[in-house]
Structure formats: C-alpha cells, structure tokens
Amino acid sequence: MQIIKYPARADWEPLTRRALAEQSATVAEAVSAIINNVRSRGDRALREYEQKFTGAMLESLLVTDEEIEKAESTTATGLKQAIDAAAANIELFHAAQKPRQELVVETAPGVICRQKAVPVQRAGLYVPGGNSPLFSTVLMLAIPARIAGCRHVELCTPPAADGSVHPAILYAAKRAGVHAVYRTGGAQAIAAMAFGTETVGRADKIFGPGNRFVTEAKQQVSLLGTAIDMPAGPSEVMVIADGTANAQFVAADFLSQAEHGPDSQSILLTADEGFAESLPEVISSLLAQMPRREMMEKSLSHSRIILLHNDNEIMEFSNLYAPEHLIINHSRAAELAAEVTNAGSVFIGPWSPESAGDYASGTNHTLPTSGHARAYSGVNIDAFMKKITFQQLSPLGIRSIGRTVEVMAENEDLAAHKLAMTLRIEAVNNQTK
C-alpha cells in the first residue's frame, strides 16, 4: 500500500481521483447498448443478459409469493432476528424524518402559499448481488419508501446461477414492505425499471447502489426521463486517525471496506508519521485471516495512506475528497466532525465502525460516492418524496401583488403573462364599483 508523505497542495486534487475512472468511456458505451436492447426487447433481453452474466436460465423474472414464503421458513432464526432488530432501528430513525405538517404562509395579504410533501408513487429499488447477498440494502431502501408512503415499491436483484434469489433478501423484502421482486441485475435491471418491460413495472425514481455499470446506467436513464437518488458506485472509506487510535480498529475498517469489491478504496489521513508507517503491517496481519483475501488485495492496491502536517490540512483534504464513509478515530473526533462539510455518513470516535451504519445503527448506508457527497445526500425520507407548492389568491391578493406581476411581466416582454393578471385586476376593480 502506498504511503504518501506531505503531498504538495498542487498534488491534492489528483490524489482524490477514484480508481477506474479511466474506463468510464468504455463502460458508458457498453451500458448504452444494454439500455437500448432492454428498451426495445424487454423481458427477452433481460433473460438473455441473466444467462450471459449469471448463468441463470429464467422462466419467470417475477419472484412468486410461494418463493417468498419458503424463504422466510428457510432463513435462520438468528438472522431473521438480526434483520428485524436492524429494521426497527432504521424505521425509528427514518420515521423521525417525515414531515410533520404542511407548510402554509401568507406571503402578502390575500396570497396564501402552501408546500405539501407527496411520496413518489412508483419506487424502483436496486439491490446488488455479486460478492454478497446485500439484504441490508433492502432494508435501507424499502423501509424509507414504505414510511414515505410510496404506492408501489419494486425491487430488482441479480439471481444465482440456478435462478434463485437469496432467502435473506426475500425475507428482508417482505419485512420491509416490498410489493414485487424481480430476478434481474446490473445495467439491464436499471433499464427495465426506467422504461418498463412486459413484467417489470416502470418506476418514477430509481434508488440503490451498484458497481460502475449500474452507476453509469442510472446516470444515463436520468437523462432519459427517470429520476435517480444519486450516483452511487464503488464504495469507499476515509479514516482520520492520530496516535491515540487503535491500529487494529483502523486496519479492520480498511479491510471491511476492501471486501466490498476490487473497485473499493480506503484512505487514511493522519499527521502521525509513526502511525502511518506501522499501519500496513497491521493490515497485512489481519488480511491473512480474511477469506476474500485475493479480492481485497486488489482494493488495497489502490488504497492510500496520506501523511499531512496537521489537523487543519487533514480536514481540508477530507472535504476535498468528499468520502462516502468518513471515520474519525481521533482524540479530537467531535471537534473535527464539526468541520465536516462533504461526506456521505460520518462515524465519530473509536467505537463507531462503518459496519454499524452499514447494518444496524439506523442511518442509511446508501450514500454518494466518487466525490458526489459535495452535492448529494445519502438516501433519506426526502429522497422518496417530492414537494408540491400551492397558491391561492383572493381579490385582496390580486390587489396586493397584481401590479408587481404586471410590471415584471411587461419588462420580460411576456404580454400574455401581464394580460392574465390585468384582466383579474380589472374584474376586482369592477366588483368594488
């Protein structure tokens, strides 16, 4: 693992670049072809892609109620209890985010403006398969959708080679209130939810993380009329630590990120040179015990330890990088956390591993990656809602703002806009005669 000592400011921006960015043009071309194929050929294209990518020869894309019931009976009791406990915390935190009342403001005499939060009607959820059955992601997406009041919630996830969906994913989907589960993954699943097929319904908005192909697909369909939550691609963690940090804790945080996939990235920022130089050996020692060692080594090959001069530089660099996950394992953790302006989710102190937020603390683990935390939030209740404004003017309202509207419309050369108000002003004036 590369240790970079005291990089010049001019070198900071290149150090924030994520792995595999150079492949984006190739990925974009491949994803565009998949989207066009699914859009024109529907279910047939989905079946062909699943056979190509997963080996599954599917008779039905829709998971049946019988399969879901069987999944519930075959999922271990201990796992169901863990899912239920995590779901309860996620529900508690996200329910507290729901708007409690409609906003009503009288902006001028006789002019009443309202804002009402309304749920997205059809939510499409994507749950990755690949290296792990991410049943936790089902909870993170479907529970907020249910709390928000989405009328229809559908979920796409890659099948196994035999066409089955992992029982824990199906149990979590039932527990969280998903209405339909489809066995299809990758860019093809995003295309199916964006445009609809004979089986998969068309979604108003698509949510969920994925690899660079899924992220690219989400970005492409967002230009074709389907909203998305955020660009959420290969996962990443940044750890801020000083000499007081437990090196094994930090090493374990590095490795927990690395096992998300070979594209993942872990970064350590520290001003303690001794800690920076000793950490690779601790990581190697723990890595030797990991079952996914070979894949994790690929992730660690583009992970970095960056030595900076002081905490001020550390926070500047962190906010420039805008990490998906930010762990502050530092004697001044609370103070440094107050300086965070760009991050998906922040874990404060030595007892707050990323894995707590990934599963059961209650916060959402679907977060912006690749620097998008500079502008995007992680998934929350607002992501599943839209806010509609209403206004109602009385004759008094026409008197209050009518002339303002006329003057502004006239000076923008929009004569019909002015006329719509002028006619009402005249009608109100005639009423008072």
Report, as an integer, the average pLDDT of 22-44: 91
Pick left, alpha or beta for residue 218 (phi over 0 → left; psi -120 to 50 → alpha; otherwise beta).
alpha
* Catalytic residue, candidates 94, 166, 260, 325: 325
Residue 325 is among the residues annotated as catalytic for this protein: yes
**Mind listing the pLDDT tens digit for each residue in 115-162?**
999 999 999 999 998 667 899 999 999 999 999 999 999 999 999 999
CATH of 2-20+234-362, one of 3.30.300.30, 3.40.50.2300, 3.40.1410.10, 3.40.50.1980: 3.40.50.1980
Residue 100: pLDDT band with limits 50, 70, 90? confident
Q: What is the pLDDT of residue 254?
A: 93
Q: What letter would DSSP give residue 131?
A: T
| Domain residue spans of the chain | 2-20+234-362, 24-110+118-232, 394-431
Contact 290, 255 (CB under 8 A): yes
Percent of the chain exceeding pLDDT 70 equals 98
**Mind listing the pLDDT tens digit for each residue in 153-188?**
999 999 999 999 999 999 999 999 999 999 999 999
The DSSP bridge partners found for residue 5 are 307
CATH superfamily of 24-110+118-232: Nitrogenase molybdenum iron protein domain (3.40.50.1980)
Burial 146-181 (b: 16+ CB within 10 A, else e): bbbebebbbbbbbbeeebebbbbbbbbbbbbebbbb
> How does DSSP assign 248-298, residue by residue?
HHHHHHHHHHHTT-TT-EEEEEES-HHHHHHHHHHHHHHHTT-TTHHHHHH
Residue 250: pLDDT band with limits 50, 70, 90? very high
Lowest mean pLDDT among 306-310, 372-376, 429-433: 429-433
pLDDT of 21 higher than 60 = no
User: Is there a shared CATH topology between the 2-20+234-362 domain and the 24-110+118-232 domain?
Assistant: yes
d(CA 81, CA 68): 17
**Mind listing the pLDDT tens digit for each residue in 420-432?**
999 999 999 999 7
Contact 156, 193 (CB under 8 A): yes
Q: What is the pLDDT of residue 223?
A: 96
pLDDT of 433 higher than 90 = no
**Mind listing the pLDDT tens digit for each residue in 34-90?**
999 999 999 999 999 999 999 999 999 999 999 999 999 999 999 999 999 999 999
Angle at CA of residue 246, ends 245 and 251, nearest 5°: 105
Burial grade of 302 (CB within 10 A; 0-12, 13-18, 19 or more): middle
**Mind listing the pLDDT tens digit for each residue in 382-410?**
999 999 999 999 999 999 999 999 999 99
Which residues are CB-contacts of 192 (< 8 A; sequence separation ≥ 6)? 38, 42, 46, 156, 182, 184, 200
Strand order in the sheet with 227-228: 180-183, 152-157, 122-126, 205-207, 227-228
> Chain-wide mean pLDDT for the chain?
95
pLDDT of 233 higher than 80 = no
Which has the higher per-residue pLDDT, 433 or 380?
Answer: 380
Residue 212: pLDDT band with limits 50, 70, 90? confident
Q: What is the pLDDT of residue 19?
A: 65
What 3-state class would DSSP assign to 5?
strand
Global confidence as pTM: 0.93
Residue 158 CA, chain-centre distance (Å), reads 18
Which residues are CB-contacts of 245 (< 8 A; sequence separation ≥ 6)? 275, 329, 330, 350
pLDDT of 202 higher than 90 = yes
What angle do helix axes 247-258 and 293-301 make, rounded to 10 degrees? 100
Q: What is the pLDDT of residue 131?
A: 65
Residue 330 is among the residues annotated as catalytic for this protein: no
Residue 27 CA, chain-centre distance (Å), reads 20
pLDDT of 22 higher than 60 = no
Residue 211: pLDDT band with limits 50, 70, 90? confident
Q: What is the pLDDT of residue 156?
A: 98
Q: What is the pLDDT of residue 263?
A: 81
pLDDT of 264 higher than 90 = no
Q: What is the pLDDT of residue 20?
A: 58
**How many CB atoms lie under 10 A from the CB of residue 363?**
21
* Catalytic residue, candidates 259, 324, 330, 365: 324
Burial grade of 401 (CB within 10 A; 0-12, 13-18, 19 or more): middle
Lowest mean pLDDT among 241-245, 255-259, 303-307, 344-348: 255-259
What angle do helix axes 212-222 and 24-41 make, rounded to 10 degrees? 60
Residue that the structure tokens 């719509």 belong to: 420
d(CA 290, CA 394): 70
Closest to 297 in 3D by CA, of 327, 267, 264: 264
pLDDT of 298 higher than 60 = yes
Which run of H or of E encompasses 228? strand 227-228
